[in-house]
Structure 1
Amino acid sequence: MPTTRRKTAAPKPGAARAARAAPKPDAARAARAARAATTATAATAAATVEDGIVLTGPPGQLRATVSVENAVDQRLAIRGLALHREGHEPVVGSAAAVIAPGATAEVPLSVRLDPGTPPGDHRAEVEVGGLRRQVVLRVEPTVALRVSPRRVLATEGTQELTLTVGNDGNVEVPLAALQRARTDDGGPDPGPDIDLALLEPVVVQPGTTVRVAAHVIVPKGLDPTRRHTARVPVGTADLDVVVLPRTASERPS
Structure 2
Amino acid sequence: MPFYARLQPGEQAHVPGTFALDPSTPPGKHPFEITVGDTTVAAEALVEEVVDLRMSPGQITLLAGSAASFTRTLVVENAGNVDLPTGEVCETPIIDSNDLIAAMVAGINDSDKSTVEAMVKGILLKWGDMTPGMLITRRQAMVLHPGQKLAVEIQFDLPPTLKPMRHYWANLQLYNATLSVDIYTTANYGRKAASHGRKRESSR
TM-score, length basis structure 1: 0.55
> Would you say 1:108 and 2:16 are equivalent positions?
yes
Cα deviation, residue 99, structure 1 = 4.1
Cα deviation, residue 165, structure 1 = 1.5
The structure number with the bigger radius of gyration is 1
Residue pairs, 1:75-86, within 5 angstroms:
none
Higher relative contact order (CA 8 A, sep 6+): 2
Q: Deviations over 1:128-162 (max 9, x none)?
A: 36522111111222222122332222226222233
Note if contact 1:179-1:234 (Cα within 8 Å) is conserved in structure 2.
Answer: no
More helix by share: 2
1:165 to 72, 76, 85: 76
Distance 1:159 1:245, change over 3 A: closer
| RMSD over equivalenced CA pairs, Å | 2.7
SS of residue paired to 1:97: coil
Mark the runs of 5 or more structure 2 residues left unpaired by the alignment.
101-126, 194-204
Distance 1:249 1:159, change over 3 A: closer
Question: CA–CA distance in 1 between the matches of 2:51 and 2:189?
Answer: 46
Q: Aligned pairs, how many?
A: 160
Question: CA–CA distance in 2 between the matches of 1:223 and 1:137?
Answer: 56
Partner of 1:220: 160
Cα deviation, residue 230, structure 1 = 0.7
1:233 to 173, 176, 190: 173
Note if contact 1:174-1:235 (Cα within 8 Å) is conserved in structure 2.
Answer: no
Distance 1:130 1:222, change over 3 A: farther
Identity of aligned residues (%): 28
Partner of 2:111: none
Question: CA–CA distance in 2 between the matches of 1:142 and 1:246?
Answer: 42
Cα deviation, residue 248, structure 1 = 5.2
1:175 to 60, 81, 86: 86
More strand by share: 1
